[in-house]
Copies of this chain bind each other. A is one copy, B any other.
């Protein structure tokens, strides 16, 4: 789940030589120019073309999906004054963090969102963002799903708050969107946990074990992201660089509450998941116990009786008076059954007293 893309040990700092698995699909670069009255969406072939079409009198949002082509990333990021260490951070796996520069604010977070096509499907994607007064630059590490559909729709719609606001509000909206995506994931885990509880108590299977572990992994990942993300938002709240407007603060505070809420629920779910693991163990033990009980009942019932039958199946020469006179006794067979029934009855009583029956 944790996809590690890292700087090769020994290479110079800020080098873009990275190791770890990465998709090799070409990146998609997309520019949205908007102000209160106009809205344009432009698909750009490469970084240079995107830079060429920026409009300083409007708000601009450049979104890059897929980071395999590090050169495009470098060109775009350098254009806005990001230092080489930041560019390295964009193309490698990072924990959420924020850095203020005099050119704007740079931050990294990781998005977790539901992939509704798969049961228990969750996508994890790193989002690097830079914004100054009138531009937001975002880099998504994958180009598969689009978690920003909602934001784009609000941008396209005239009269929305987002259309009337500056770049910092767009940056907030994207962050908020990333955090909002936590909740469907948490809901999925919550619902799944309830189903799992029922199933585990009734019938503990290997598939349930896998699902449990998958939930655990998602929750761990969420925790790993949410804690530093809260610091990032806290930093934005206290920011005094001027790139975050006063009016955006109240929304960031709301954002902060949401991420804290997500952390709280995720922690509760982690404890519940641990509890479900316990239930899995117990349920398995319970079933083994039950199976053993049946085996023991049947075995201890019939094994002594089989021995008895075996005895009277022996071929000792009954003409010798000491050898198995029972066999020639007129009521030997009925007596055998009496002994069998008595033994069986005694055992039933013993089992009942032990509460095994």
Contact = CB atoms under 8 A, between A and B. Distances in A.
B299 A303 contact: yes
Contact of A295 (B281, B299, B333): B299
A254 B85 contact: yes
5 pairs of A and B residues whose beta carbons are closest in the complex: A10-B150, A309-B310, A9-B180, A312-B314, A6-B183
Interface of A: 2, 4, 6-13, 19-20, 83, 85, 88-89, 93-95, 97, 113, 147-151, 153-154, 160-162, 173, 176-177, 180-181, 183-184, 186-187, 190, 197, 201, 203-204, 206, 209-210, 213, 216-217, 220-221, 223-224, 228, 250-251, 254, 257-258, 260-261, 264-265, 267-269, 271-272, 275, 277-296, 298-300, 302-307, 309-318, 320-324, 326-334, 336, 354-356
14 contacts: A6-B184, A11-B154, A85-B250, A213-B279, A223-B268, A224-B265, A284-B289, A289-B291, A305-B307, A306-B307, A309-B310, A316-B327, A320-B329, A320-B331
Contacts of A221: 268
Contacts of A298: 299-300, 303-304
A286 B213 CA distance: 16
B314 A315 contact: yes
Contact of A149 (B10, B282, B302, B303): B10
Contacts of A323: 330-333
Integer count of this chain's copies in the complex: 5
Contact of A13 (B251, B294, B317): B251
Nearest to A350: B294
B315 A264 contact: no
A187 B6 contact: yes
Contact of A275 (B95, B213, B322): B213
Contacts of A260: 95
B279 A282 contact: no
Given A20-B187, A310-B310, 14 more contacts: A6-B180, A6-B184, A7-B183, A9-B150, A11-B150, A12-B160, A220-B271, A224-B267, A281-B285, A282-B284, A292-B295, A309-B314, A317-B332, A324-B333
Nearest to A217: B272
A2 B190 contact: yes
